[in-house]
Amino acid sequence: MIKPRVLIPCDVKTIGMHPFHAVGEKYLNAVAHGADAWPLLLPAWGDGTDLRSLTEHYDLDALLDNVEGVFLPGSVSNVHPQRYRGSTPDFTCDAQRDAAVFPLVETALTRKKPLFAVCRGLQELNVALGGTLHARVHDVPGMLDHRENDQLPREQQYDLAHDVDITEGGLLADILATRRIQVNSLHTQGIDRLAPGLTIEARAADGLVEAVSLPQSWALAVQWHPEWRFDSDPHSERLFKAFGEALRA
């Protein structure tokens, strides 16, 4: 049986003196083995150091004809604030990824392709549909510090950090069959104004939105990182299994 195919947009990373288009192995691993799908990497097609824009080079409808879904991975970069506030960033952005992701999200949702998003992916989905972001959640009065401790070893950075309360009757509650779970937390930005049409699926204790869905199609986004060692956490396994089932449906 041919496995479902999943588009995953790349980040642009500088290695040495050269820009490369890349996706973290943890995301590929979870999509391949958790959703039992074929991950296909999509270049970040905005203007780059060595790349002339590919915006007019791709036909997104034709591309989506040949895949079953889309996965938006996390990243150390952030959505450019001009996408939602019109301000100049003072943090790391990836305008090339933005150039690919926003039309990809719009077309995928119009085509009702299953979409699963993690961390930056949740933020992209919210901004794509008209929402805004907190640039630094930890600077917002009353909010927790949701960042990882970058002085710790990598494995400890992904330790469970706080609870999230899951909305009763939602897609996430249906997948996980529980009302509260513990999650890791490795992000600086988060949802400020929720985009029209999105449904809140989970919140942290400080009220920050931790998961959203789009009722009109199978679209789910979470702020934490279920891809990390997904097969050692039953909730993460269920998330990727549900994505795989949506792809096959």
**CA-CA-CA-CA torsion sign (72, 116, 178, 229):** negative
* pLDDT score recorded for residue 216: 86
Q: What amino acid occupies position 60?
A: L
* pLDDT score recorded for residue 186: 97
* pLDDT score recorded for residue 91: 85
Domains, in order of start, for the chain: 5-248 (3.40.50.880)
**∠ CA 175-147-164 to the nearest 5 degrees?**
30
**CA-CA-CA-CA torsion sign (44, 116, 196, 217):** positive
* pLDDT score recorded for residue 90: 79
pLDDT per residue over 16-42, tens digit each?
Answer: 999 999 999 999 999 999 999 999 999
Q: How far apart are CA 226 and CA 117, in angstroms?
A: 10
The residues annotated as belonging to the active site are: 119, 225, 227
The residue among 78, 104, 123, 93 whose CA lies nearest residue 224 is 123
Average pLDDT of each block of 10 consecutive residues along the chain (249 residues)?
94 96 98 98 96 93 97 95 83 94 97 98 98 94 95 96 97 98 97 97 98 95 98 98 97
Distance of CA 94 to the CA centre of its chain: 14
* pLDDT score recorded for residue 64: 97
